[in-house]
Chains A and B, each alone.
Chain A
Amino acid sequence: MISLIYNILREDEKLLIQSAKNLNLEINLISTDKLILDPNNFKFNYKLILNRCLSNFIGDQIVYFFETFGIKVINNSQVNHICSNKFLTSLFLIKNKLPTIPFLVFFNEELIDEVTKILNDYPLVLKPIYGSWGRLLAKINDRDAFEGILEHKRYLSAPYHNIFYTTKYITKPNRDIRVTIVGNRIICAVYRENFHWISNTARGGKIRLCNMDKDLENLCENLIQKLPLGIYGVDIFEFNNGYLINELNHTIEFKNIQKTTGISISDEIIKFCLQNLNND
């Protein structure tokens, strides 16, 4: 039996439940509203946890808690560590010599000109180190905008908004590529097409199946070799006849891809859970 922990049950989780039923696997649903992570009184009658928390911060606490007591969680804390913080993702990618977008982090607004020089002029992109769905991303076209946005960030309440994670703006076709990886396998690649510079499907991006060429396949195979085994949504930009890895996502949303392509990502995730159960 696997236990699926969630805070909001979305269509993605319903697809996972259906896949588990189809594969004759018992699935136990746990809402975080009912959980008390008390190490002294918790009944650890779980074999494997599938973390599907919509809230990344809540999900992190769950992963660390169960791992502390020897219970396997998918995705595990190593995967979460690489994916949940965009600065750490970028560091992971350059450390492993994987192609990514030029980036830096700074903490003081007075360094704007130096930062702009290092990243070879505007436009730039400013992103919160935590977050998803293209939330609070800013494309910065000039110095006035840069100054204004940094001042706004100073007044946001979460301290991580004072970490100015900045990347070069990449001029790409009106799309990016989302590659879904489960375990050591590439499940599928899709284009997410959008005339807005943010291609995320949460922002209205349309999905179309992408036939991977050899370069893209090699890049993803190379990435799989470097990553801890897990479930990933890899966002890739096409650039200068090559590819750049933009982001790694770890609690992937797949319902739109599954609906459009007919490829059952939920089945693949449940099969991956089963493999992990059987490996114990």
Chain B
Amino acid sequence: MNQAECPICGSQISFQSLLEENELLNCESCNNKLVVKNIIGNNITLEEAPHIEEDWGQ
């Protein structure tokens, strides 16, 4: 199981499944949306998800 730190509230987030770059996640502590910025070996870097753009959606 991998772990990474939430860049907003600092809590540790655990991951059971395999992550992909730019995968959207939710921090269960602060409820903010995050994305996976980098995966280097077992080191996972998260960042705050980008704000909604005008051309996003279906």
Most A-side CB within 10 Å, residue of B20, B23, B56: B56
Q: Which residues from A are CB-within-8-Å of B57?
A: 54, 56, 131-133, 135, 202, 249, 251, 253
Within 8 Å by CB of B54, from A14, A135, A251, lies: A135
**Least CB separation from B33: chain A residue:** A8
* Proximity string of chain A (79-93) to chain B, C-beta cutoff 8 Å, 1 when within and 0 when not: 000000000000000
* B58 adjacent to A8 (CB under 8 Å): no
Residues of chain A at interface, number, CB under 8 A: 31
Within 8 Å by CB of A31, from B22, B55, B56, B58, lies: B22
* A29 adjacent to B20 (CB under 8 Å): yes
Least Cβ–Cβ distance between B53 and chain A, in angstroms = 6
* A8 adjacent to B21 (CB under 8 Å): no
Check if A137 is an interface residue, CB within 8 A of chain B. Answer: no
* B54 adjacent to A8 (CB under 8 Å): no
* B20 adjacent to A9 (CB under 8 Å): yes
Task: A40 to B28: give the CA distance in the assembly, Å.
Answer: 45
Q: Which residues from B are CB-within-8-Å of A8?
A: 22-24, 35, 49-50
* A130 adjacent to B55 (CB under 8 Å): yes
Least Cβ–Cβ distance between B37 and chain A, in angstroms = 9
Task: A29 to B19: give the CA distance in the assembly, Å.
Answer: 12
Within 8 Å by CB of B55, from A131, A233, A253, lies: A131
Q: Which residues from B are CB-within-8-Å of A202?
A: 57
- Not counting A29-B20, A56-B57, a sample of 5 additional A-B residue pairs whose C-beta atoms are within 8 angstroms of each other reads A55-B55, A132-B57, A136-B54, A202-B57, A251-B57
What are 11 A-B interface contacts by the 8 Å CB criterion? A31-B22, A33-B22, A34-B21, A55-B53, A57-B55, A130-B55, A131-B54, A131-B57, A135-B57, A158-B54, A251-B57
- 6 A-B pairs with least C-beta separation: A132-B57, A249-B58, A9-B23, A56-B55, A57-B55, A133-B57
